[in-house]
A and B are shown apart, each in its own frame.
Chain A
Amino acid sequence: MSESTIDEATAPSAESGEGIRAAAWRVAGAVADPEIPVLTIADLGVLRDVRVVGSGIEVDITPTYCGCPAMSMITMEIELALEKAGFGRPKVNTVLSPAWTTDWMTDEGRAKLKDYGIAPPNKGSGRRALFGVEQVACPHCGATDTAVIADFGSTACKALWRCNACREPFDYFKCH
């Protein structure tokens, strides 16, 4: 969350409804994913809508995985960030439809993930064959000679891969 965002938001009453909404969107959108802190919920595509309702702010988020334990943490972080920025009575709704997909991740988010050492999800979350093989480029050296070690990694959204060129293991953000 940048300083300018806080400054703009500390005097929401002086702004138009659209201005307040945009400021609240910036504050909410800047909340980081607790498990992948380089990504914000705006980068992930988890933040769906921000509305000014009366004197409060309502935020819609959409869950990534059904059982993702980060969602309740994200909800709390959004409420906290909005309150800190001077928005009263923030309310966060979880919206299931339409269902989140990794295709909603922004290009900026994909670039941040790669810099962080996590291979971003392949675009087009189309169905793969039961025993299909995916091509994932190594986020460290860029080589495509890579192999999966484990389909289920340290969090629900990641798989563990290894690069055969630079020999480094890496996380792959799975298509969803």
Chain B
Amino acid sequence: MTSIRVTETPLVTTVLRRADDALVLGHRLSEWCGHAPMMEEEMALANMGLDLIGQARALYTCAGEAEAAGHDEDAFAYLRDERAYRNLLLVEQPNGDFAKTMVRQLLYAAFADPYWRAMMASRDATLAAIAAKAEKEMAYHLRHSAEWVVRLGDGTQESHERTARALAQLWPFTGELFETDDVERAMIDAGIAVDPATLRDTWRQTVSDVLSRATLKMPEDAYMQKGGRSGRHSEHLGHLLTELQYMQRTVPGATW
């Protein structure tokens, strides 16, 4: 089926960015189904993925209402090409080993938890309501991933090294969390969105607390990768979307 063309207003773009973060990270976590290191983690990873995909559904519906072009949640998820996706580069990074998945979850949740908490004061009632759900869910994701990062970092030499490596690999993608552009600025000024830059200190505090318990060194901020918010992605998103969209692209409109 041919891709949809989204008419991006500041509101639509702002909401799609969050929806895409949630869908792509939720999809990544779903890739663990059947592969988790133990039964409890199988359930935890699937549950966290489900939370995120649920957030994405509500946000896509909200974006569809804002765009008013008849696009529903499925159209946004299944019928947009890689360049139309607006998610952070961080969330599309491959799962790697369990340590990398947990570090990625920590880096995202340490941001998303305070982000949604602040968004509860949004002037957009729908966004505020979604935020009230999402902030509670992200608090659980944050705690769970933080506990694992501490356990792995402060574990064996092998687990420490792997967690440190994951942190080094993912760190260059954290700068993008706090990026703001003119599109989003309009929504921030209108009291509809929160300025992500204002959450940087909270994020650093949380991450540094967890890393110090995990006996891991906080990486230095060096060159930061960016581009996801405007559709310039790493090589990994295309592969992810190929799997996610396969059915609707092959058998357009299939339902079951």
Interface of B is mostly: helix
- Of the candidate stretches B135-143, B176-184, B188-196, B217-225, the one touching chain A is B135-143
Q: Is A165 an interface residue (CB 8 A)?
A: no
Collect the chain B residues with CB atoms within 8 Å of residue A97's CB: 125-126, 128-129, 132
List 17 interface pairs A-B (beta carbons < 8 Å), by A numbering.
A63-B54, A65-B50, A65-B54, A66-B55, A66-B134, A67-B26, A67-B50, A67-B51, A96-B126, A130-B209, A131-B143, A149-B40, A152-B140, A152-B144, A153-B47, A160-B40, A174-B140
Q: Is B236 an interface residue (CB 8 A)?
A: no
**A: which residues have CB within 8 A of B?**
63, 65-69, 96-100, 125, 127-128, 130-131, 149-154, 156, 160, 174, 176
Distance in Å: Cβ of A155 to nearest Cβ of chain B? 8
Distance in Å: Cβ of A95 to nearest Cβ of chain B? 8
- A130–B146 CB distance below 8 A: yes
* Shortest 3 CB-CB contacts between residues of A and residues of B: A67-B54, A66-B54, A99-B132
- Contacts beyond the supplied A65-B137, A96-B130, A97-B125: 16 A-B pairs with Cβ under 8 Å: A66-B133, A67-B50, A67-B51, A67-B53, A68-B54, A69-B50, A96-B129, A96-B133, A130-B146, A131-B143, A131-B147, A152-B43, A152-B47, A154-B43, A156-B50, A160-B40
Interface of A is mostly: loop
Q: Is B57 an interface residue (CB 8 A)?
A: yes
A127 to B139, CA, bound (A): 9
A154 to B146, CA, bound (A): 21
Across the two chains, which residue of chain B brings its CB closest to A150? B40
- B140–A66 CB distance below 8 A: no
- A130–B43 CB distance below 8 A: no
A63 to B54, CA, bound (A): 10
Distance in Å: Cβ of B123 to nearest Cβ of chain A? 13
Collect the chain B residues with CB atoms within 8 Å of residue A125's CB: 136
Within 8 A of A (CB), among B51-73: 51-55, 57-58
Across the two chains, which residue of chain A brings its CB closest to B136? A176
Q: Is B16 an interface residue (CB 8 A)?
A: no
Across the two chains, which residue of chain B brings its CB closest to A64? B133
A65 to B55, CA, bound (A): 9
A87 to B43, CA, bound (A): 40
Distance in Å: Cβ of B104 to nearest Cβ of chain A? 17
Collect the chain A residues with CB atoms within 8 Å of residue B43's CB: 150, 152-154
Distance in Å: Cβ of A9 to nearest Cβ of chain B? 32
Collect the chain A residues with CB atoms within 8 Å of residue B208's CB: none
Q: Is B107 an interface residue (CB 8 A)?
A: no
Residue A130 contacts which of B44, B48, B142 (CB distance < 8 angstroms)? B142
Q: Is B206 an interface residue (CB 8 A)?
A: yes
- A151–B140 CB distance below 8 A: yes
Given the known inter-chain contacts A152-B47, A156-B50, please indicate yes or no for A66 contacting B40, CB distance below 8 A: no
A149 to B38, CA, bound (A): 12
Collect the chain B residues with CB atoms within 8 Å of residue A127's CB: 139
Given the known inter-chain contacts A97-B126, A130-B142, please indicate yes or no for A151 contacting B44, CB distance below 8 A: yes
Collect the chain B residues with CB atoms within 8 Å of residue A96's CB: 58, 126, 129-130, 133
